[in-house]
Amino acid sequence: MMPISFLVEGVNCNGTIIPDQLVDIIHLIYNGIRIGVPIILIIVGMFDMGKAITQQKEDEIKKAQSLLVRKAVAAVLVFLMFSIVSMLFGVVSNGSSDKTTIWACVDDLLKGNSSALTPCTPDGSTQACTKADSSAGTQTCSGGYWSACQ
């Protein structure tokens, strides 16, 4: 019986195949948190500040200003934390395409390095690739991105 990993195209991490769709979902969630949380913090802080200004109470305005500054600092820290984690995994993995280390695999997951995300030009061009079962295959450029290895 053929293992399931031979039936799925994706990122080969030391023999474990992670489907391209899962890589894309992990990357989307990671970026959603990295970018979305700071934006939400700042919007909520601005909303609180606006509410305090409309009440026209000096002590409420000062409290809202303090809260807005804390939320802005938290937003910057969240963004920087995720960016530093991405950078560290990139440095530790040496940016190599060798997927024999967990560091390189996590770097691919965070950066969304799947064949579905690799841009190409022109449409119709082909390139050699390695299938999940380690045999040779080809990818075709379609719609500006490489297809799965066939």
pLDDT tens string 81-113: 988 988 888 788 775 555 567 777 777 778 776
Q: Where are the alpha helices (DSSP H) in 10-123?
A: 20-55, 58-92, 102-111
* pLDDT of amino acid 5: 40
* pLDDT of amino acid 1: 38
Residue 19 lies in a domain: yes
Domain that holds residue 135: 118-150
Does 110 share its domain with 122?
no
Quick one: what percent of the chain has pLDDT higher than 90? 31
Q: What is the mean pLDDT of residues 33-37?
A: 92
* pLDDT of amino acid 121: 74
Does 83 share its domain with 150?
no
* pLDDT of amino acid 119: 67
Q: Is the pLDDT of residue 78 over 90?
A: yes
Does 111 share its domain with 149?
no
Does 107 share its domain with 122?
no
Phi, then psi, of 89 in degrees rounded to 5 = -65, -35
115: three-class secondary structure by DSSP: helix
